[in-house]
Amino acid sequence: MKIQTRHLVYCLISVFLIFGTGGCVYWRLLKLKKQFRHFERYVILEKTYGLSLTFKKPILLEQDIVWLFKGKPAIRAQSGRQTLFKYTFKKLYPVESPLEIDLAQIALSFLFQDNTLHKVRLPKTFSRYIEPELLTGSLRSVGRGTVDKQQRSVSATFQTKQHTDARIIPTRAEVERILGTPYNLTETSSSSTLFYQYHIHIKSNRHQDSRPNVQLWLTFSSMDNKIISAKASFNGLGASIRF
């Protein structure tokens, strides 16, 4: 009996060491998903200097973001109780494109206070082409989406509080103005899919793996060139939304 009990304890310790930290992050991500479901109650969308999300009841911690990104940010600044993380997504090309200097990378900024995430700032270029209602509607829809725990993914259908205004749904041309030339393009008689890949630059003393951390598939209708679905993979986590 003692041997069996000892074996059980060792197993539980092993499970905790392997899944303990990640499990806490997933739990907090699920809580964040619930906040997105009731977006206006928990999140403020600011448009003063580009688009940014401010959380009224912060959930994620500094260590959660580091865990999600698989490394500390290359840029980190601290002032009193506030800490700034800045992660850069470097765009990958089959052949390097010298004509997309401004689109070759995307930067996201995370502002923490007392170790909790209070604000996320999106690139300023996004605010030129992304309607605020598109962003809020997408996040609200993800909040109502279906979670596949085995696949570590969420799937959703785009919903707005009122009838969807067709003008807020982006076209292929608008997306390409934001993200530039895709890594790959697939076309059929009814749709076209733009495929993008990005590598996250993190702080490391070792040579960084150049394989993509982020993959993005955007599918557009051939009839009106409006987006009909978006799918993303981020360090083992997935999300998809249909429009």
pLDDT in tens, the chain (243 residues): 444 544 444 443 333 333 334 568 889 999 999 999 999 999 999 988 789 999 999 999 999 999 999 999 989 999 999 999 999 999 998 876 657 767 778 899 999 999 999 999 998 878 877 888 899 999 999 999 999 988 999 999 998 765 556 678 899 999 998 898 999 999 999 999 999 999 998 886 555 566 678 999 999 999 999 999 999 999 989 999 999
Contact 135, 69 (CB under 8 A): no
Residue 2 in tokens: 């003692």
What pLDDT, on the 0 to 100 scale, is given for residue 211?
67
Dihedral sign for Cα 139, 140, 146, 152, please: positive
C-alpha neighbours within 13 Å on the C-beta side of residue 37: 12
All structural domains of the chain with their residue ranges? 7-242
